[in-house]
């Protein structure tokens, strides 16, 4: 099944179970101070779980655009290096708001996976929550017993809070979960090692594909759990991982959608995918990152130097660096790849096509800007690494890392990545110290220090005569010395003046003040 077919089969299945199919929420979150990006399918429904809002549709399903590159859920370092982590990914999900609970969730999950997708039942393992004394939450024996209807007890594994108690963040709706894993290893490997020993152990072919979360609690700011007004279901299944399973691949990046993008890079660079690990990682990073970049721009978030915009700029520059160093790309290439992405995913997400021209333009401008400093910056970091190794050091100084950030636009994580590839560390604490110094300098540069006014004559009202006169004789009523950005200047107030002050969108008049001894030009 192609990815588009897999997505449609999921939605058709849950529509047949009485679910309303709803659009994906934007990936960039604008109205929630606890989240920068949507990192799970349930984010848009948080108020329903908490009981703050109600929905007339008690059963909902969709595919949700998600991004995990910051905060609690951060997969950036693994992206492209392994075969199954992504920055942006699709989360297939179905929800119950006070309607069905564990039984229907587990029954339908088994039906969809084994009857519709026809996954071999002998390859499926599930985990259930074994309880946690500190939180006072007992083991989820109900889910365990429900799974025993379908599979032997030795493939139902109890797991700790770390793996089987889902939380959106430090606060918010949460609850025990039951994860579904699939063993994709060859038969020979399966006979050597029991698959249950590899569950939740980061094996690339024994992977979690679906998480059934049973929302029962709200995590308060003080860390305590309180029961929600009603019980809910929140499930999430990674479409990319599911496609790998159903298409019989060993990597998410070997599935049809990613290969469509990778083949564009193959044609562009003349480099074969699968022939060299360095080249392969670069291509995987790029085809992953173009999705995060394009969807963010489509959702209204442009690259910038702060907040969510800075995250997107970091991702974009990370992709450009891989293309430059590993693939020999010396001019913008992501902008054209965004067009290919629109072709691959535009049916499911039409915003990639309606916003396509804007996405391409923004990416091209960002690429062109970074390419101007990239070559010089990479030469500089290579010199620093060579110098450090020659001096017997295994770490780049914080001041040097800050220079790369401040002068060459290298985000800290990009410098860390290049350093790690050269088996050297970076002084993160020293970098933070230099960054704090820069912020202090910026604040000082914008701070205005003013002396007291020196009164030369009493005049309660200053008159503007600029509508009738462009020059006049006048007196200085008062003046004061001002310091800003390490410069000194004087502010003068006249009894009458032809100078129109800046205001209402208009720039203030400029001219000269002439006395017996000198002529001064206003600024």
Q: What pLDDT is recorded for position 508?
A: 75
Q: What pLDDT is recorded for position 485?
A: 66
**Bridge partners (DSSP) listed for residue 493:** 478
Domain boundary among 232, 252, 272: 252
Residue 102's pLDDT band, with cuts at 50, 70 and 90, is: very high
Residues 375 and 475 in one domain: no
Dist. CA 209–CA 90, nearest whole Å: 12
What tens digit of pLDDT does each residue of 349-380 get?
999 999 999 999 999 999 998 888 888 888 88
Residues 49 and 91 in one domain: yes
Strand-pair category, 73-74 with 88-97: unpaired
Q: What mean pLDDT is predicted for residues 174-203?
A: 94
Residue 199, C-beta contacts closer than 8 angstroms, at least 6 positions apart: 125, 127, 157, 181, 206
The 3 state secondary structure assigned to 411-450 is: CHHHHHHHHHHCCCEECHHHHHHHHHHHHHHHHHHHCEEE
Residue 423, C-beta contacts closer than 8 angstroms, at least 6 positions apart: 394
**pLDDT: which is higher, 505 or 255:** 255
Residues 139 and 30 in one domain: yes
Domain boundary among 252, 276, 293: 252
- The number of distinct structural domains making up the chain is 3
The three-state secondary structure class of 191 is helix
**pLDDT: which is higher, 49 or 135:** 135
Residue 73's pLDDT band, with cuts at 50, 70 and 90, is: very low
Average pLDDT of the chain is 87
What tens digit of pLDDT does each residue of 392-414 get?
888 898 898 898 888 877 878 78
Closest CA to 338 of 319, 357, 366: 357
Q: Residue 237: which CATH number?
A: 3.30.930.10
Dist. CA 48–CA 25, nearest whole Å: 15
Flag the least confident range among 151-165, 308-322, 446-460: 446-460
Residue 337, C-beta contacts closer than 8 angstroms, at least 6 positions apart: 261, 264, 265, 286, 287, 290
Q: What mean pLDDT is predicted for residues 322-337?
A: 93
Dist. CA 139–CA 33, nearest whole Å: 33
Closest CA to 296 of 63, 23, 67: 67
Q: What pLDDT is recorded for position 467?
A: 82
Q: What mean pLDDT is predicted for residues 423-440?
A: 87
Domain residue limits at 477: 449-521
Alpha-carbon dihedral 251, 254, 256, 259, rounded to 10 degrees:
140
pLDDT at 69 over 80: no
Strand-pair category, 496-497 with 463-464: parallel
Residues 31 and 132 in one domain: yes
Residues 384 and 270 in one domain: yes
Q: What tokens does 6 get?
A: 């897999």
Closest CA to 208 of 185, 240, 236, 181: 181
Q: What pLDDT is recorded for position 421?
A: 84
**pLDDT: which is higher, 315 or 485:** 315
pLDDT at 448 over 70: no
Strand-pair category, 225-238 with 206-219: antiparallel
**pLDDT: which is higher, 82 or 353:** 353
Residues 248 and 262 in one domain: no
Residues 392 and 375 in one domain: yes
DSSP string over 434-491: HHHHHHHHHHHHH-EEEPPPEE-S--S--EE-TTT-S-----EEEEEEEEETTEEEEE
Q: What mean pLDDT is predicted for residues 15-27?
A: 91
Flag the least confident range among 109-123, 238-252, 323-337, 509-523: 509-523
Dist. CA 94–CA 377, nearest whole Å: 47
Residues 379 and 458 in one domain: no
Residues 16 and 150 in one domain: yes
Angle at 416 between CA 414 and CA 419, to 5 degrees: 110
pLDDT at 520 over 90: no
The three-state secondary structure class of 202 is coil
Residue 31, C-beta contacts closer than 8 angstroms, at least 6 positions apart: none
Q: What tokens does 63 get?
A: 């595919």
pLDDT at 469 over 70: yes
Residues 418 and 467 in one domain: no
Q: What pLDDT is recorded for position 206?
A: 94
Q: What pLDDT is recorded for position 222?
A: 87
Domain boundary among 418, 444, 470: 444
Closest CA to 205 of 254, 151, 156, 268: 254
Q: What pLDDT is recorded for position 523?
A: 64
Q: What mean pLDDT is predicted for residues 250-261?
A: 95
Closest CA to 250 of 82, 116, 88, 118: 82
pLDDT at 75 over 60: no
Residue 332's pLDDT band, with cuts at 50, 70 and 90, is: very high
Q: What pLDDT is recorded for position 515?
A: 85
Dist. CA 277–CA 176, nearest whole Å: 39
Q: What pLDDT is recorded for position 72?
A: 45
Q: What pLDDT is recorded for position 277?
A: 92
The three-state secondary structure class of 157 is strand
Q: List Cβ<8 Å contacts ≥24 apart for 244-247.
A: 244/84, 244/184, 244/207, 245/119, 245/182, 245/184, 245/207, 245/209, 246/1, 246/6, 246/117, 246/119, 247/1
Q: What mean pLDDT is predicted for residues 114-131?
A: 96
Residues 502 and 482 in one domain: yes
Flag the least confident range among 46-50, 266-270, 514-518: 46-50
Residue 285's pLDDT band, with cuts at 50, 70 and 90, is: very high
Q: What pLDDT is recorded for position 39?
A: 64
The 3 state secondary structure assigned to 345-394 is: HCCCCCHHHHCHHHHHHHHHHHHHHHHHHHHHHHHHHHHHHHHHHHCCCC
pLDDT at 88 over 60: yes
Residue 5, C-beta contacts closer than 8 angstroms, at least 6 positions apart: none
Q: What pLDDT is recorded for position 71?
A: 45
Residues 372 and 350 in one domain: yes
Angle at 384 between CA 381 and CA 390, to 5 degrees: 145
Q: What pLDDT is recorded for position 25?
A: 81
Flag the least confident range among 52-56, 237-241, 466-470: 52-56
> Which class for 266: exposed (0-12), middle (13-18), buried (19 or more C-beta within 10 A)?
middle
Q: What mean pLDDT is predicted for residues 485-491?
A: 78
Strand-pair category, 476-484 with 487-494: antiparallel
Residue 35's pLDDT band, with cuts at 50, 70 and 90, is: low
């Amino acid at each position: 099944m192609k990815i588009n077919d897999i997505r449609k089969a999921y939605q058709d299945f849950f529509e047949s179970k009485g679910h309303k199919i709803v659009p994906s929420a934007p990936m960039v979150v604008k109205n929630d101070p606890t989240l920068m990006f949507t990192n799970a399918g349930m984010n848009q429904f948080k108020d329903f779980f908490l009981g703050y809002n109600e929905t007339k549709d008690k059963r909902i399903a969709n595919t949700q655009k998600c991004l995990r590159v910051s905060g609690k859920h951060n997969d950036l370092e693994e992206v492209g290096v392994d075969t199954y982590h992504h920055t942006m990914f699709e989360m297939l999900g179905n929800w119950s708001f006070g309607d069905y609970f564990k039984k229907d969730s587990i029954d339908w999950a088994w039906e969809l996976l084994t009857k519709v997708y026809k996954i071999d039942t002998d390859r499926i393992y599930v985990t259930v929550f074994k309880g946690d004394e500190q939180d006072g939450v007992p083991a989820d024996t109900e889910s365990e017993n429900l799974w025993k209807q379908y599979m032997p007890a030795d493939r139902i594994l109890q797991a700790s809070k770390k793996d089987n108690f889902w939380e959106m963040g430090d606060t918010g709706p949460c609850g025990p979960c039951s994860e579904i894993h699939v063993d994709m290893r060859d038969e020979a490997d399966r006979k050597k090692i029991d698959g249950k020993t590899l569950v939740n152990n980061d094996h690339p072919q024994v992977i979690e594909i679906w998480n059934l979360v049973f929302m029962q609690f709200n995590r308060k700011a003080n860390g305590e759990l309180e029961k929600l007004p009603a019980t809910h279901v929140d499930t999430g299944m990674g479409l990319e991982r599911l496609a790998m399973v159903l298409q019989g691949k060993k990597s998410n990046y070997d599935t049809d959608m990613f290969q469509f993008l990778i083949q564009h890079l193959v044609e562009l660079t003349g480099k074969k995918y699968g022939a060299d690990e360095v080249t392969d990682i670069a291509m995987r990073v790029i085809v992953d990152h173009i999705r995060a970049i394009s969807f963010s721009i489509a959702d209204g978030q442009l690259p910038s130097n702060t907040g969510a915009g800075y995250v997107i700029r970091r991702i974009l520059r990370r992709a450009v660096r891989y293309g430059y160093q590993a693939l020999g790309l010396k001019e913008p290439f992501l902008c054209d790849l965004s067009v290919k992405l629109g072709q691959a995913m535009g049916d499911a997400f039409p915003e990639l096509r309606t916003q396509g021209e804007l996405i391409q333009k923004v990416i091209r401008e960002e690429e062109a800007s970074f390419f101007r400093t990239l070559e010089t910056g990479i030469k500089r970091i290579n010199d620093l690494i060579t110098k450090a190794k020659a001096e017997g050091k295994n770490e780049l100084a914080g001041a040097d890392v800050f220079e790369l950030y401040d002068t060459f636009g290298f985000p800290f994580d990009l410098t860390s990545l290049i350093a790690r590839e050269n088996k050297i560390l970076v002084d993160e604490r020293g970098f933070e110290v230099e960054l704090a110094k820069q912020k202090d300098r910026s604040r000082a540069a914008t701070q205005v220090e003013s002396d007291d006014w020196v009164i030369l004559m009493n005049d309660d009202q200053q008159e503007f005569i600029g509508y009738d006169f462009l020059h006049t004789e006048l007196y200085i009523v008062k003046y004061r010395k001002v310091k800003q950005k390490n410069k000194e200047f004087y502010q003068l107030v006249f009894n009458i003046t032809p100078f129109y002050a800046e205001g209402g969108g208009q720039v203030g008049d400029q001219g000269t003040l002439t006395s017996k001894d000198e002529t001064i030009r206003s600024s």
